[in-house]
Structure 1
Amino acid sequence: MSVDTHVLEIESKFEVPVDATLPDLTGLPRAGAVGAPREVDLEASYYDTAALDLMSLGITLRRRRGGEDAGWHLKLPSDKGRHEVRVPLGDDERVPQRLEELLRGTTRGARLRKVGTVSTRRTVLPVVDAAGNLVAEVCDDRVVGERRRGEREARLVWREWEVELTEDDAELARATTARLREAGASPSRYASKLAHVLDVVPPQDVTGASPGAASARDVLAPYLDAQVRRLRQLDPQVRADLPDAVHQMRVACRRIRAVLACYRRDFDRRAASHVRAELGWLVDVLGRERDLEVLRDHLGALVAQHESTDAAQEAWIDEALARDLAAARETARRALDGGRYDALVLALTDPAAWPPWSPNARRPARRELRRGLRAEWTRLEAAAKAAEHAPSARRDESLHEVRKVAKRLRYAAEAAQGRLGERATDLAEAMASLQEALGRHHDDAVARVAVAGFGRERSLTVARIVDELGAEQSAERATYGEEWLRLRHSRHARWLS
């Protein structure tokens, strides 16, 4: 096993009675057969800070012996499961330096120590498709867990079933879950075996509908908490160069900034302005890396469309982008290791000062939130009007400004869904559509400038790509024009006017 191996784990856990019988798994979608069971003994030691900082963010660090994947495993939450970063076992139980580096922003200097141990007798049933390819593994685990708190020790014994898919397959997941629940299983209350040992359940999602008497603070606080939590979960993923981590961290920053900007009356102006500025700095620091990732993928797709291309030119473009991307990544990582970023995280996690509410935040949510959305809609109208009359030299820049305001309005509407309901949901979806159209236009504008900088004279491919990007931008401007005309006469405009 090489250092720093990444795996996406798509797993579901189930609590079961100790005397439950694992059901027949034949006949599941895509399941051609169920292989012979195999047994394995697993020993795992789990590590965290004294304050359980990793656990609070849904992050797990363990050292496992036994099985095919023995080693250190750092599990990081993802929308589709969990990313797992693997490092070789080593000769002792000290946390590898690489994993300490990935967790620097999470532990913030606190020492990682052993907080629990788990011994598992696992029976694995492989589920394969008609071609014999593995599609899932169903595990029957008999577990003994031990924890130490101060001088006290506790020992727990339980049984659980796990389903791990090789791909994100919703139909197979639903069918397997139904089969296991019919046999007496229920979804586990715990996110991991360590959580079971420590009896820590995940925080409840409180971003749903708010009661009629809710204040703006009641509605916005859960949304802000969720975004700060997401930002902190993404910190080690960005450091590990996991897919889409930079983009998702920037989105979390922008969602927080959107709430502070759109509902500015509900926050202390000086404190909120400072946090907005620092989040903007972080978005910019990470932006160069994200822009280059998008540019590389975009140009790669365009170059691939040409049957006859200049291979040397393509290699030169790829080499130039690779150099720039490496430099951008290094700049971003240095920023995450710096004091300015530490101060930002501290500001976002200080319960005495965050969020920096103003007295207005205690006013009824419906009135306060709608007032904020109305003001943002007015800014969108102004930006669209400015873009409409912008000279050709500033057209791309002005449309990008429309996109930024639309994005801000989208996130602000998302935050208001708990009180404004369907109207806020529909507004967020409409802004997402407008943002997408202008996003493609912006990506093409960036790509066109970059490709033109490579020099038309160097390759016919480059010249063709420049022309194609120009044509795509014209089509995207037309799409945006149609979308904005529809929005100006929609019920959103009437509601926010």
Structure 2
Amino acid sequence: MTEIPKAADADSVTEPASASTLLARYLHRQRETILDGQIAAGAHDDPDAVADMVVAARRARGALAAHRKTARTQPEVHRLIEELRWFGITVGSAHELRTQAAWLLAAADLLRPRYVRGPVRARISGYFADRTRPAWIAGRELLASPRFPAMVEDLMAEERLLRSTVVPGIDDVDNTAVLEALLERVRSRMRAVESARGEDTRDAAMHGLRKAIRRTRYYLESVDDVAPARNAQACQGLAAVQDLLGGHQDAAVAKHHLMQIAREAENAGESTFTYGLLLQREIDRAAQYSAALPSAYWQALRGARVMADVHLGSAAE
């Protein structure tokens, strides 16, 4: 696996805190985390070693995508966003499968012995092993391929551009408008959750809201020099909702895996009773997260609205 040398951070105390400069600093931190993750993954050959670098890729992508005008009108930025998306999915897939396997095995262990019918642990372990190994091979191949350093180079080039010039769609746009657009996206996704009918539709709507919350949080992280204390509070509220929605998504994905595992067990002539119990557990877990959403959502939205007011005040000055 070829390691990519890290570039020195070009930050200085005299650098103006423009929107593009703040974004450049944020992208630099994420790039450093991605490179650290590459070293860790190569040293340990462990899918769990990539967790931080996958989150860093999401942070970089979310912060860039928040500037919708730039993402839409500049092909190189749009391409970088898509590369970061592809990277996160491919490299993080094995880690997510291992996390799901550990969760479902732990859930099976909590059942009373009389409720465990058939080779449940072996069936769950085998199901995920068949999927995790190929996913991790694909992730390692990606890290060793020319496409990975090309993505890092593109990220570095975007940092240099942001530090050296006014970037259309970032410095010439009021940051309040950026945040307001993000919050409107969040509100729209929440309305979709509230109007969703049917389990699958609601699961999809909750996942859509999670992505909108995540993008808003990462944008605020990228401009944390603006009222740092209030920014941290707003990000904390958004992170709480993101965690809640992440738990719901984990339950939704677990349901999908359990239905497939039950189908394999049925085809093998095994009892599916235990998988039904585990499936109901995930249905109940998703319902609990769904019930907790409204209060957490409104609290987080109030904090984000405060930041919009702070941005507006800064723009007026």
TM over 0.5: yes
Q: Using the alignment, how far apart are the partners of 2:111 and 2:305 within structure 1?
A: 44
User: 2:27 aligned with 1:224, yes or no?
Assistant: yes
- Give the corresponding residue for 1:128: none
Q: Using the alignment, how far apart are the partners of 1:426 and 1:215 within structure 2?
A: 22
**Aligned CA distance change for structure 1 residues 368 and 388 (closer, same or farther; 3 Å):** same
- Give the corresponding residue for 1:460: 273
- Give the corresponding residue for 2:314: none
Greater mean alpha carbon deviation, residues 469-478 or residues 450-459: 450-459
**Aligned CA distance change for structure 1 residues 241 and 407 (closer, same or farther; 3 Å):** farther
User: 2:103 aligned with 1:291, yes or no?
Assistant: no
Q: Is the 8 A contact 1:383 1:398 kept in 2?
A: yes
Q: Which amino acid counterpart does residue 189 of structure 2 have in structure 1?
A: A
- Give the corresponding residue for 1:387: 193
- Give the corresponding residue for 2:184: 378
Query: Match for 1:411 among 188, 201, 218?
Result: 218
- For 1:47-446, list aligned pairs within 5 A: 101=1, 104-106=2-4, 214-239=17-42, 240-242=44-46, 244-265=48-69, 269-308=74-113, 309-310=116-117, 312-350=119-157, 354-355=161-162, 358-359=167-168, 361-362=170-171, 368-392=174-198, 393-446=200-253
- Give the corresponding residue for 1:160: none
Q: Is the 8 A contact 1:377 1:496 kept in 2?
A: no
- Percent identity reads 23
Q: Is the 8 A contact 2:69 2:169 kept in 1?
A: yes
TM-align CA RMSD: 3.0
More helix by percentage = 2
| Count, aligned residues | 296
Q: Which amino acid counterpart does residue 191 of structure 2 have in structure 1?
A: K
Q: Is the 8 A contact 2:237 2:299 kept in 1?
A: no
Gaps (5+ residues) in structure 1? 1-100, 109-201
SS of equivalent to 1:106: coil
**1:417 Cα deviation from its structure 2 partner:** 0.9
**Aligned CA distance change for structure 1 residues 334 and 467 (closer, same or farther; 3 Å):** same
Q: Using the alignment, how far apart are the partners of 1:496 and 1:406 within structure 2?
A: 15
**Aligned CA distance change for structure 1 residues 326 and 354 (closer, same or farther; 3 Å):** farther
Q: Spell out, residue by residue over 1:132-187, the C-alpha distance to the aligned partner (whole angstroms, 9 max, x if none).
A: xxxxxxxxxxxxxxxxxxxxxxxxxxxxxxxxxxxxxxxxxxxxxxxxxxxxxxxx
**Aligned CA distance change for structure 1 residues 422 and 383 (closer, same or farther; 3 Å):** same
SS of equivalent to 1:391: coil
SS of equivalent to 1:419: coil
Q: Using the alignment, how far apart are the partners of 2:33 and 2:143 within structure 1?
A: 16
Larger radius of gyration: 1
Q: TM-score of the superposition, structure 1-length normalised? A: 0.54
Q: Spell out, residue by residue over 1:261-295, the C-alpha distance to the aligned partner (whole angstroms, 9 max, x if none).
A: 11345676222111001111111212321320221
SS of equivalent to 1:373: helix
Query: Match for 1:496 among 291, 305, 308?
Result: 308
Q: Is the 8 A contact 1:253 1:279 kept in 2?
A: yes
Q: Which amino acid counterpart does residue 475 of structure 1 have in structure 2?
A: Q
